[in-house]
Structure 1
Amino acid sequence: MAGRWIETWDPEDETFWREKGERVARRNLWFSVLSEHIGFSIWTLWSVMVLFMGPEYGIDPAGKFFLISTATLVGALVRVPYTFAVARFGGRNWTIFSAVSLLVPTLAAFWVMEPGTSYGTFVAVAALTGIGGGNFASSMTNINAFFPLRQKGWALGLNAGGGNIGVPVVQLVGLLVIGTLGASHPRIVLGVYLPLIVLAAVCAALYMDNLRPVKNDTGAALEAVRDPHTWVMSVLYIGTFGSFIGYSFAFGLVLQTQFGRTPLQAASLTFIGPLLGSLIRPVGGRLADRYGGARITLATFVAMAAATGVVIHASGAASLPVFLTGFTALFVLTGLGNGSTYKMIPGIFHTKALARGLDGEAAAARGRRLSGAAMGLIGAVGALGGLAINLAFRQSFQVSGTGTAAFWSFLAFYGVCSTLTWAVYLRRPAPVPARAQLGYAEV
């Protein structure tokens, strides 16, 4: 199985896709989802570990927010090299390696997770879990190459959504442990994941494939960096995925710090939002396939601004039920936006290829080439939005003891994202040749 390489791959050829391509692509998709799912769980591990860290650990809320911020930062930074690793080593081979590497932060956390461990040690181990965030970038780049443009919204949404579910799942595992054994057994959570990591690596080795035609393209990477659409989409992805991962890390701490919830009470609530946000992500992709990614993305940001207004009101009124309602709505909307923005990326670059006078497979190949190069950068910048959210919460709680000021900043940013989406992709679609059959409003 070590030589499992597919030499030719043309998903835009409908005959090839019907007779062979779809079956192979879907098989790789399912096992990509499994590996990415475990990666997300390990990346967000410290959103659960901090719930086990009572007064005996000697770490205040600001210190806990910094711990989860460290994991977020590393996860964002490693996305860039993980993106290019797929072409260098093969999607199957890199999935095996990236899955096995998750044993390092999990075993490290198992070793240090007890009172008396120095804060610096906790920060270092939290940083190690960031490699789980890189799995997303390599997985999305890999799956992007397997599917035709007409199905990318669904496939990438499902791949990302299945991975994102790793966030609520690890939180549910934490809830089960706290609810049955109390908050003094964090190592049980870690022990659950060790065999799952091995399972993900074995399944990747047995059932996934490498695509020989997928190669690193320095020229494409440089072109994607210079393209303004890469940076526009990076900002929009900060608003969608950055919000999802930032809120996922911080939600439990906000409930404990602002609303005085116990670890068990917080754990019993934190998984709901990330679960719904993950499950609905493929729906965002499907809606974008049907109505256009830009339209769905704009509607999502407008709704996120409204939900943030609800959260601000609840925060000031100290109303936990209204706060939970608004926050859960935010999670659902980030999931929809995640799916629609990832539909937009390949569509934008395909549209630009058509505008250059290319058509058919030539346009599709150029679109795949540039969108694959852009995805790693967009994913990395977007994940940095999670870091910004964690740091905003840390500052807000340090200064005022509540998260209200942080939510006001998020509301302003969603306004910026709404305006940017409308101005660039909906207000005045760029003219393209008649044969393009696609404007930016439909991406």
Structure 2
Amino acid sequence: MNAWFPPERRGLAIGIFGAGMGGTAISALTTVKLVDAHSMPTPFLITAAVLALYAVTAGLLLRNAPGRTVPTEPLGRRLAAALRLSITWQASALYAVAFGGYVAFSVYLPTYLKTGYGLTQADAANRMAGFVLLAVAMRPVGGWLSDRLGPIRVLAVSLAVVAVGAAVQSFTPSLAPIGTIAFLSMAGALGAGSGATFALVALLTPANKVGSVTGVVGAAGGLGGFVPPLVMGSLYGAYGSYAVGLALLAMVAAAALAYTLTGVRSAVRASEHGVSHR
């Protein structure tokens, strides 16, 4: 995707591309209703039909960027080269927090709201959908701001907001308004941070390795979303409270913030001065 856009517009372009994560909200709002109205296979059949339609559309309309060089090295060698780049590990760590936090909340937030605040399944699902939609809307904004202000500033503000929001929520405040403000603030910050992370990848990754690095970073985000729900469930089972889990999220976000302002910022400055960031 980098090849289609000049460097000063890649953050916004990748942010718009990443807004496809809004499918989580669509799924949350429609799956149960489709099952209740029709049958269990209905949402899966609809998804299969949409995927087939997209495959045909993509085959007819999508094209590689002009001048694209087809890789000749084996997959394993390309991945090994990507793993030797420091930006791969830096962006993976940040994306595991930003996108991983988004995925974790989209999975676990309904359970949290039902258990912690006594909401109904429908009400909790609707609030989770609102969380997801705000995060989706903020992802292109995060990319756009990264083009103008630099990804470090956007990441730093985003991670600071997540740290504060998680710390506030660890005290289980009333849902209206403090809890709602905390969660919506974290939603916007996680979306913007996800967009800024890939703007950072576009900025620091050699053009011939963007695909490999993006794949590794995306996998790290998925892994980052898999672990927190398990941790939250285990901690709730042990202590009967989500406070410890949210406090841990605040500490992880604070650690990621410190890393962004030190190691990652140094890599960006080195890149600006033409120094290798391997």
Q: Same fold (TM over 0.5)?
A: yes
Q: Are the aligned partners of 1:175 and 1:268 in contact in 2 as well (CA < 8 Å)?
A: no
Match of 2:6 in 1: 148
TM-fit CA distance, 1:323: 2.3
2:54 pairs with 1:190 = no
Match of 1:208 in 2: 62
TM-fit CA distance, 1:245: 0.9
- List aligned pairs for 1:279-294, cutoff 5 A: 279-294=137-152
- The letter of the residue matching 2:112 is V
Match of 1:348 in 2: 204
Residues 252 and 421 of structure 1, relative CA distance in 2, 3 Å threshold: same
Residues 389 and 432 of structure 1, relative CA distance in 2, 3 Å threshold: closer
Return the structure number with greater relative CO, CA threshold 8 A, min gap 6: 2
Q: Secondary structure at the match of 2:241?
A: coil
Match of 1:272 in 2: 130
Bigger Cα Rg: 1
Q: Secondary structure at the match of 1:165?
A: helix
2:273 pairs with 1:415 = no
Q: Are the aligned partners of 1:241 and 1:383 in contact in 2 as well (CA < 8 Å)?
A: yes
Q: Equivalents in 1 of 2:182, 2:254: separation in Å?
A: 17
Normalising by structure 2, what TM-score? 0.87
Q: Equivalents in 2 of 1:378, 1:197: separation in Å?
A: 24
Show CA shifts across 1:326-361 (max 9, x none).
112211111000111100012113xxxxxxxxxxxx
Match of 1:126 in 2: none
2:220 pairs with 1:381 = yes
- The letter of the residue matching 1:158 is I
TM-fit CA distance, 1:259: 2.3
- List aligned pairs for 1:94-105, cutoff 5 A: none
- Work out the percentage of aligned pairs sharing the same amino acid: 24
Q: Equivalents in 2 of 1:227, 1:326: separation in Å?
A: 36
Show CA shifts across 1:3-55 (max 9, x none).
xxxxxxxxxxxxxxxxxxxxxxxxxxxxxxxxxxxxxxxxxxxxxxxxxxxxx
Normalising by structure 1, what TM-score? 0.56
- Greater mean alpha carbon deviation, residues 237-246 or residues 373-382: 373-382
Match of 1:303 in 2: 161
Q: Equivalents in 2 of 1:342, 1:216: separation in Å?
A: 25
Q: Are the aligned partners of 1:429 and 1:439 in contact in 2 as well (CA < 8 Å)?
A: no
Match of 2:245 in 1: 406
- The letter of the residue matching 2:215 is G
Q: Equivalents in 2 of 1:164, 1:396: separation in Å?
A: 28
- The letter of the residue matching 1:277 is A
- The letter of the residue matching 1:328 is L
- The letter of the residue matching 2:228 is I
Q: Equivalents in 2 of 1:258, 1:346: separation in Å?
A: 40
Structure 2: gaps spanning 5 or more residues:
none
Residues 370 and 346 of structure 1, relative CA distance in 2, 3 Å threshold: same
Q: Are the aligned partners of 2:102 and 2:191 in contact in 1 as well (CA < 8 Å)?
A: yes
Residues 390 and 433 of structure 1, relative CA distance in 2, 3 Å threshold: closer
Q: Are the aligned partners of 1:236 and 1:417 in contact in 2 as well (CA < 8 Å)?
A: yes
- How many residue pairs match? The answer is 272
TM-fit CA distance, 1:207: 1.2
Query: Cα RMSD between the aligned structures?
Result: 2.6
